[in-house]
Amino acid sequence: MSDPAYVALDGVTRQWGGRGGVADVSLDVAEGSFVSVLGPSGCGKSTLLRLISGLETPEAGSIHINGREVTHLQASGRGLSMVFQSYALFPHLSVRENILFGMRVRRVPRNARDEKLAEAVAMLGLEGLEGRKPAALSGGQRQRVALARAVVSGHPLCLMDEPLSNLDAKLRHSVRRDIKGLQRRLGLTVIYVTHDQTEAMSLSDQVVLMRDGRVEQVGSPRALYADPVSTFAAEFIGDPPMAIIEGAALGVSGALIGLRPEHLALAPSGQGDLTGVVREVEYMGAETHLIVDHPAARGLILSVPGHAAWQPGQEISLTLPKEHRVLFDAQTGKAKKDPQQDYGGDRRQTAPRDSRKALQSHPSTD
Beta bridge partners of 50: none
How many residues contact ligand ADP, by CB under 6 A? 11
Q: Which residue is nearest to ligand ADP (CB)?
A: 20
Angle between helices 169-186 and 139-152 (to 10 degrees): 10
The listed partner (ligand ADP, Mg ion, none) that binds 42, CB under 5 to 8 Å by sort, is: ligand ADP
What's the CA gap between 277 and 280, in Å, rounded?
9
Other CB atoms within a 10 A radius of the CB of residue 166 amount to 16
Which of 182, 96, 151 lies closest to 104, judged by CA?
A: 96
Using rule CB under 5 A, residue 46 touches Mg ion = yes
What's the CA gap between 60 and 300, in Å, rounded?
42
Task: Provide the minimum distance between the beta carbon of 350 and Mg ion in the complex, in angstroms, as a whole number.
Answer: 30
Using rule CB under 6 A, residue 46 touches ligand ADP = yes
Contact 318, 213 (CB under 8 A): no
Using rule CB under 6 A, residue 352 touches ligand ADP = no
Position 271: which residue type?
Q
- Out of 21, 58, 261, 299, point to the residue binding ligand ADP (CB under 6 A): 21
Using rule CB under 6 A, residue 41 touches ligand ADP = yes
Contact 25, 214 (CB under 8 A): yes
Per CB under 6 A, the segment of 41-49, 89-97, 126-134, 332-340 that binds ligand ADP is 41-49
What's the CA gap between 110 and 303, in Å, rounded?
58
Task: Provide the minimum distance between the beta carbon of 161 and Mg ion in the complex, in angstroms, as a whole number.
Answer: 6
Using rule CB under 6 A, residue 47 touches ligand ADP = yes
Closer Cβ to ligand ADP, 20 or 139, answer by number: 20
Closer Cβ to ligand ADP, 43 or 117, answer by number: 43
- Out of 23, 27, 45, 261, point to the residue binding ligand ADP (CB under 6 A): 45
What's the CA gap between 302 and 243, in Å, rounded?
10
What's the CA gap between 121 and 177, in Å, rounded?
16
What's the CA gap between 41 and 110, in Å, rounded?
43
Other CB atoms within a 10 A radius of the CB of residue 148 amount to 26
The listed partner (ligand ADP, Mg ion, none) that binds 352, CB under 5 to 8 Å by sort, is: none
181-210 residues near ligand ADP, rule: CB under 6 A: none
Angle between helices 139-152 and 95-105 (to 10 degrees): 20
The listed partner (ligand ADP, Mg ion, none) that binds 258, CB under 5 to 8 Å by sort, is: none
The helices-and-strands tally (H runs, E runs) of the chain is: 9, 19
Closer Cβ to ligand ADP, 21 or 219, answer by number: 21
Using rule CB under 5 A, residue 47 touches Mg ion = no
The listed partner (Mg ion, ligand ADP, none) that binds 16, CB under 5 to 8 Å by sort, is: ligand ADP
Closer Cβ to ligand ADP, 13 or 319, answer by number: 13
DSSP letter (8 states) at residue 334: B
Closer Cβ to ligand ADP, 23 or 244, answer by number: 23
Which of 125, 107, 366 lies closest to 224, judged by CA?
A: 366
Using rule CB under 6 A, residue 16 touches ligand ADP = yes
Task: Provide the minimum distance between the beta carbon of 7 and ligand ADP in the complex, in angstroms, as a whole number.
Answer: 17
The listed partner (Mg ion, ligand ADP, none) that binds 261, CB under 5 to 8 Å by sort, is: none
Contact 299, 245 (CB under 8 A): no
81-140 residues near ligand ADP, rule: CB under 6 A: none
What's the CA gap between 238 and 96, in Å, rounded?
40
The listed partner (ligand ADP, Mg ion, none) that binds 2, CB under 5 to 8 Å by sort, is: none
Residues lying near ligand ADP in the complex (CB under 6 A) are found at 16, 20-21, 39, 41-47
Residues lying near Mg ion in the complex (CB under 5 A) are found at 46
